[in-house]
Structure 1
Amino acid sequence: MELSNGSGQSSSPILILNACPDVQLRGVRAKILNDAGYYTSSASTPDEASRLSARMNCALAVVCYSFSEREQQTIHDRLQEQSPATRFILLDHVADEDPKGFLVKIRKALYKLEIVKPERRA
């Protein structure tokens, strides 16, 4: 687990759970989020994401496309159970190609303009 904020901002911290099995993608996203003033807690597995969400009050969970659909759904379901107020964004490849667009998506989710959740699977 990593918890960091690269900006040193003094305003009320916003904690984002950054879940991704790929260490490089997770690191790049954490840097983008930290540079934008957000605190991040990073998880590489659904179980780690679940443990972190149970211990920390994350405003938002950012979940990578590189998890399988089953893992994505598991993370979503556990987050909803443990921390129903936490918003959930399932990322696609575009997030890696457009860091500014990634941050816009984060801000919209945090400010209730857009909440992105996966569809429930039968």
Structure 2
Amino acid sequence: IFDGAARKGRVRQARSQLEQSRIERDSLRLAIEVEVRQAISEFQEAEELVNAVAKAVEQAEEALRLADSRYDAGAIDQLDVFEAQFALTESRTNRLEANYRHIVAVANLKRAMGEDKTVLDSN
């Protein structure tokens, strides 16, 4: 009699532990899915930013070229050329920041998808 009750208790406890494990698994699966979706979104934003900033650098380079030509022709003064140089420097700085953001986004996406072996090896 006592053995049967003890066995039923162990079975009940095992079922409870199994259910708890399933809940934890589902919760972890959901957390991973959210992390991957967020990493994909950040990656896409970083890609768009890199492309936009690359165009801005091209435009700033062209603006400086035009400013130099206009200065040589006497149409503008040195201050206008300096402003064009500053705009180009600022665009290039933005490009560096965008590239860094892109690198971080790629690393985060790889980590979220389990592709970053260095993260896996360190655990």
User: Which has the larger Rg?
Assistant: 2
Higher RCO, 1 or 2 (CA under 8 Å, sep at least 6)? Answer: 2
Same fold (TM over 0.5): no
User: Which is strand-richer, 1 or 2?
Assistant: 1
- Superposition TM-score, scaled by structure 2 size: 0.20
- Superposition TM-score, scaled by structure 1 size: 0.20
